[in-house]
Structure 1
Amino acid sequence: MNNLPRQKLIILFTIFVDVVCFGIVIPLLPFYLEEFQATPFTITLLFSAFSLFSFLSSPSLGVLSDRVGRRPVIIWGMVVSAIGLFIFASANSLWVLFLGRIVDGLAAGKFTTLQSYMVDISRNDKERTQNLGLAGATFGLGFMIGPMIGGILSNISISFPFWFTGVLALLNALIAFLFLPESHHNKSVKQFSINPIIPLKKAFVDKKLRPLYTTWFLFTFAFVLSQAVFSLFAQKVFHFDSTVTGFLFSFLGGIVLVNQAVLLKRVWLKYFSESKLEYLMMAILSIGFFLMATKINLFFYIGILFLGIGQSVIRVVITSQAAASATPQTKGEVIGVLGSIMSASMAIAPIIAGKLFESEPYYPYLLAALFCLAALFISTKLKFRKTKFEEDLTLPTNEI
């Protein structure tokens, strides 16, 4: 246990650098693709290509991390991600762009392995939720800084940030190789299968987990609908350029950072049970998406605020509940399924968002609000909770 603070520091730094890379890339994609005369629908197809291969790889990487450990999967993922970014940065045609995003998508499951690492070093249920919140806060910090770096670097050239991100991913892999210890010592002995459908099928056969996974799918679908057209919406409706859009993403990341680093422990987990938090945050998200759909500048900013608060808490609560349901030998698999479900949303939702955006820019946000309302309805009506989450306990102040 004496090495625990060092482990936590190293893994949080690894998460931070990984998310900075992600934060640099995402806001700049539409502007980079303008160089290739890509339509909004093509842009969303590119998002979907990344997500489709993330969907296919996440469950398998989760199972693999249960079998061989978290560390090798994390390092492998960073190296493959760097290769994908270099391909993307050097592209001279659309098909090469798609190839780059596909390769990067194959490595995207590493983030759920990073979450599994945080679960591994947690000593109890309360610490698990807090550690996942800390990982989320680190995500927020990285997503706040990444877009700012990307916006600044894009002034050199629109492709330069992608080269920079590839180098950063390789450096992160090197740091993990040199300093990141293994966290998973209760290795799974079951045979590894590359077939991603096996863990997904197993997950949805589980009657206790199925409602949780359904709620997670609706939430992630709504979130991805909004994010897939965020840069396009800001550009078309408010005429924001790449620099301003990057700062908007940073604003969102800042909200996530404050919410998960400070408010999660001191407010949300102090005064609400996890089940009630899920209901409250789904409602907040619904309101936020409706506000963003109004196309009114002030309401758009308030909607971003609600989006940052709602989605960052829901991610932690659902991931924590999923981890609590798993054995030490299957935590990577269960969290990997969550990542795969999110990737499925990221594969499908951008295509729908792109088509809706071409009809009317605010339609994706209206649909996102409706999906959150559906998730709220399911989570309240089905009342799925594992026993430890059924008790409306709030964490005592001295334990937070």
Structure 2
Amino acid sequence: MVINKQKLIILFTVFVDVIGIGVIIPILPFYVESFGASPLMVGLLFGVYSFFSFFSGPLLGSFSDRRGRRPVLIISILSSAIGWLVFASAKSIFFLFLGRIIDGLAAGNFSTAQSYLSDIAKNDKERTTNLGLVGAIFGIGFIIGPMLGGFLGSISETLPFWFVGGLAFLNTVSAFLFLPETLKERQHEKISFNPFSPIKKALKDKKLRPNYISWFLFGLAATGMQSIFSLYLEKVFGFGSSTIGLFMAAMGVVMVLNQGIGLKHFWLKYFSEPKLELDMLLICTGGFLLLGSRNLTIMLVGLLIMVLAQSILRVVMTSQAAGGAVLGERGEVLGILSSLSSIGAIAGPLIAGSIFMAHHRLPFVLSAFCMVLAFGVVWFYRRKLKEIKPVDDAGADILP
């Protein structure tokens, strides 16, 4: 597969976004501590990013459907760079929050980047492969980000933030110079600035409603599990931070290989997207249940199953939603998915953290239950509406 200049710039955009998330995880508590802030402030700084990305996802997606992908991408990437530089040069808690808010608002560009890759795809299979590359970049970013943050942070607490800001400025220049517009059919409806209006609209869309509901349940399950996984490894197996870090890196490697290579050369070769989605929802359910075990071998098997299934689900569920969207509304649809992810990223950890205190297996049982619900929603709506394939017929004969 040839990765052209356009695709490379979009993947670099995603890479910078993910590197930023990964970089901030290991050093944010120490950086905030230097301002005399409490641990609560650390949580709020993480939360404020998700909160504002919830608002920006559908908004930037709608803008890109009406004004084009190129201007939205360039402005949002530049805004992200400014957010990082504000954060790095902050002299007070106020400017720390301002930097995170700016970057959170710019984080909505992820859905626009996905829309761009969907626009340039010639058929369903290529669209799914493109989105699989995004997933692989995510995995690479989460492997490199924390290590890079730890290394640069040992030199200077602010160096990682200056570094990511510099990458974002470089990304802005490359997008401005080399990224053409891909949107051919533009929407002309007025843009709603109410962040809940696209979600209300989504719930009325009978065709895409199962995609939205199952995506939210999947996000709730995944972020809930991720938030307590380190605590679980420490409490049940006595693992320290270095061992847990190796687990995270190994999960990232599996994700990269599965999405970057396995998706195209195995999964899409032998399974159709709709069947793959249902199968992986069930497989992921089993992985979550095995993860809660006190037996190390069973836990590792569950972890491998869960990572393999999740990495495929993220791509296939996104591709099904993009393929089911009207061409001029693809950005808005993917923006809604982004917002639903943000809601899950806020609610999932809160619920999982609360029930983890009662018993360490409960968050995994809850995640498995969410997967069963998601399977039921998708299966029921497909049976009811008798719509198995996406409306994008460009590659209808590609999938088996």
TM-score bin (small chain): 0.7 to 0.9
How many Å apart are 1:335 and its aligned residue? 1.1
Whether the 8 Å CA contact 2:124–2:398 is kept in 1: the answer is: no
User: Which residues of 2 match residues 270-289 of structure 1 at below 5 A?
Assistant: 270-289=269-288
Whole-angstrom CA distance in 2 between matches of 1:265 and 1:221: 27
Whether the 8 Å CA contact 2:280–2:310 is kept in 1: the answer is: yes
When structure 1 is superposed on structure 2, of 98-107 and 221-230 the one drifting more is 98-107
Question: How has the CA–CA distance of structure 1 residues 189 and 256 changed in structure 2, closer, same or farther, with 3 Å as cutoff?
Answer: same
Asked whether 1:240 is paired with 2:248, we answer no
Partner of 2:290: 291
Partner of 1:379: 378
Whether the 8 Å CA contact 2:291–2:303 is kept in 1: the answer is: yes
Partner of 1:54: 53
Whole-angstrom CA distance in 2 between matches of 1:376 and 1:362: 21
How many Å apart are 1:114 and its aligned residue? 0.6
Question: How has the CA–CA distance of structure 1 residues 179 and 249 changed in structure 2, closer, same or farther, with 3 Å as cutoff?
Answer: farther
How many Å apart are 1:69 and its aligned residue? 1.3
Unaligned runs of 5+ in 2: none
Partner of 2:329: 330
Q: Any idea what SS the aligned residue of 2:155 has?
A: coil
Whole-angstrom CA distance in 2 between matches of 1:82 and 1:386: 46
Asked whether 1:186 is paired with 2:185, we answer yes
State the TM-score, normalized to the length of structure 2.
0.85
Partner of 2:213: 214
Partner of 2:102: 103
Whole-angstrom CA distance in 1 between matches of 2:226 and 2:165: 23
Q: Any idea what SS the aligned residue of 2:147 has?
A: helix
Letter in 2 for 1:198: S
Question: How has the CA–CA distance of structure 1 residues 314 and 399 changed in structure 2, closer, same or farther, with 3 Å as cutoff?
Answer: closer
How many Å apart are 1:160 and its aligned residue? 3.6
Whether the 8 Å CA contact 1:151–1:246 is kept in 2: the answer is: no
Whole-angstrom CA distance in 1 between matches of 2:46 and 2:191: 29
User: Which residues of 2 match residues 147-166 of structure 1 at below 5 A?
Assistant: 147-166=146-165
State the TM-score, normalized to the length of structure 1.
0.85
Partner of 1:308: 307
Partner of 1:389: 389
How many Å apart are 1:232 and its aligned residue? 4.8
Whether the 8 Å CA contact 2:225–2:367 is kept in 1: the answer is: yes
How many Å apart are 1:113 and its aligned residue? 0.7
Whether the 8 Å CA contact 1:82–1:169 is kept in 2: the answer is: yes
Letter in 2 for 1:192: I
Whether the 8 Å CA contact 2:13–2:77 is kept in 1: the answer is: no
Whole-angstrom CA distance in 2 between matches of 1:344 and 1:117: 24
How many Å apart are 1:206 and its aligned residue? 1.0
Question: How has the CA–CA distance of structure 1 residues 91 and 306 changed in structure 2, closer, same or farther, with 3 Å as cutoff?
Answer: farther
How many Å apart are 1:124 and its aligned residue? 1.6
Question: How has the CA–CA distance of structure 1 residues 247 and 178 changed in structure 2, closer, same or farther, with 3 Å as cutoff?
Answer: farther
Whole-angstrom CA distance in 2 between matches of 1:239 and 1:31: 22
Letter in 2 for 1:273: S
How many Å apart are 1:269 and its aligned residue? 1.4
Partner of 1:142: 141
Question: How has the CA–CA distance of structure 1 residues 350 and 269 changed in structure 2, closer, same or farther, with 3 Å as cutoff?
Answer: same
Asked whether 1:83 is paired with 2:74, we answer no
Whether the 8 Å CA contact 2:21–2:145 is kept in 1: the answer is: yes
- For the aligned residue pairs, the C-alpha RMSD in angstroms reads 3.2
Whole-angstrom CA distance in 1 between matches of 2:29 and 2:288: 21
Partner of 1:10: 9
Whole-angstrom CA distance in 1 between matches of 2:161 and 2:230: 17
Q: Any idea what SS the aligned residue of 2:343 has?
A: helix
Question: How has the CA–CA distance of structure 1 residues 333 and 358 changed in structure 2, closer, same or farther, with 3 Å as cutoff?
Answer: same
Q: Percent identity?
A: 47
Question: How has the CA–CA distance of structure 1 residues 344 and 37 changed in structure 2, closer, same or farther, with 3 Å as cutoff?
Answer: same
Asked whether 1:370 is paired with 2:369, we answer yes
How many Å apart are 1:337 and its aligned residue? 1.0
When structure 1 is superposed on structure 2, of 256-265 and 228-237 the one drifting more is 228-237
